[in-house]
């Protein structure tokens, strides 16, 4: 397995190998299965980054559920531009339903805050965040995600759905920017 990879102008080093990711994804799904038993939740997957995490997670979530998607963006290159733009509406009725927002990473938290504000106007029964990665040092929100996979340092990461200028999403392992 390659320990270092070059994407565009930057060098990345192997950070979390696929086997560890898969174990963590399974354990998050196990918790969700317990907490949402008989609740028929809606999984709201935030594109593009969460596509791979969501696909793996939902294979392990074997109870009844709905799955839908939304698209937001706040990143250009390796930095957050601080303003969240909605690029796709939520195309399902969430009224009185339990919603689980599926994110690849919570960094500043601006994306999930914006999404939660949108959702609350639609009267869901509950809203929780499920993220594979959480960067607490960068987080500016008020409430940490309820379901977190890996708590990681404030360094840019890529792979397993996360990109650097649209490259690297297809990597099965996670990589971290090498400085
Ligand atoms: P936030 O709004 O700052 O929490 O950022 C959330 C979004 O920014 C994520 O859904 C990712 O798409 C992107 N993002 C944040 N940190 C990283 C990173 O380290 N690598 C790749 N994308 C990131």
Name all domains of the chain by residue range, CATH numbers in brackets.
Answer: 19-153 (3.40.50.2020)
Q: What pLDDT is recorded for position 74? A: 66
| Among the listed residues 46, 63, 34, the one whose alpha carbon sits nearest the alpha carbon of residue 132 | 46
**Cα 25 to middle of ligand 1, angstroms:** 18
Predicted local confidence at residue 134, as pLDDT: 98
Contacts of 142-149 spanning 24+ positions with Cβ under 8 A: 145/103, 145/106, 145/112, 147/28, 147/31, 147/32, 147/100, 148/106, 149/21, 149/24, 149/25, 149/28
Residue nearest to atom 20 of ligand 1 (CA): 157
Ligand 1 cavity residues, CB under 6 Å: 46, 49, 74-75, 80, 103-111, 156-158, 162
Separation of alpha carbons 99 and 4, rounded Å: 38
pLDDT in the model for residue 73: 72
pLDDT tens for the chain, residues 1 to 179: 569 999 999 999 999 999 999 999 999 999 999 999 999 999 999 999 999 999 999 999 999 999 999 998 765 566 665 666 676 677 789 999 999 999 999 999 998 998 999 899 999 999 999 999 999 999 999 999 999 999 999 999 999 999 999 999 999 999 999 98
Separation of 127 CA from ligand 1 center, angstroms? Answer: 20
Question: pLDDT value at position 1?
Answer: 56
How many angstroms is it from 75 CA to the middle of ligand 1? Answer: 7
Q: Which atom of ligand 1 is nearest to the CA of 108?
A: 3
Mutate to test the pocket of ligand 1, among 52, 70, 83, 104 (most ligand atoms within 8 A of CB): 104
122-141 b/e (C-beta count within 10 Å ≥ 16 → b) = eebeebbbbbbbbbeebbee
Residue 107 alpha carbon to ligand 1 centre in Å: 6
């Amino acid at each position: 397995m390659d320990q270092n990879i070059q994407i565009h102008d930057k060098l990345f080093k192997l950070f979390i190998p696929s086997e560890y990711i898969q174990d963590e994804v399974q354990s998050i799904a196990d918790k969700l299965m317990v907490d949402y038993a008989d609740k028929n939740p809606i999984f709201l997957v935030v594109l593009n980054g969460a596509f791979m995490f969501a696909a793996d997670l939902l294979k392990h979530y074997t109870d009844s559920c709905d799955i839908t998607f939304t698209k937001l963006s706040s990143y250009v290159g390796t930095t957050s531009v601080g303003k969240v733009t909605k690029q796709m509406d939520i195309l399902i009725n969430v009224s009185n339903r339990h919603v689980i927002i599926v994110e690849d990473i919570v960094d500043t938290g601006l994306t999930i805050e914006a999404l939660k504000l949108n959702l609350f106007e639609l009267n869901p029964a509950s809203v929780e965040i499920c993220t594979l990665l959480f960067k607490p040092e960068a987080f500016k929100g008020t409430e940490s995600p309820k379901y977190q996979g890996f708590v990681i340092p404030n360094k840019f990461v890529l792979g397993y759905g996360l990109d650097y200028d649209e490259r690297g999403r297809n990597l099965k392992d996670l990589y971290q920017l090498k400085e």
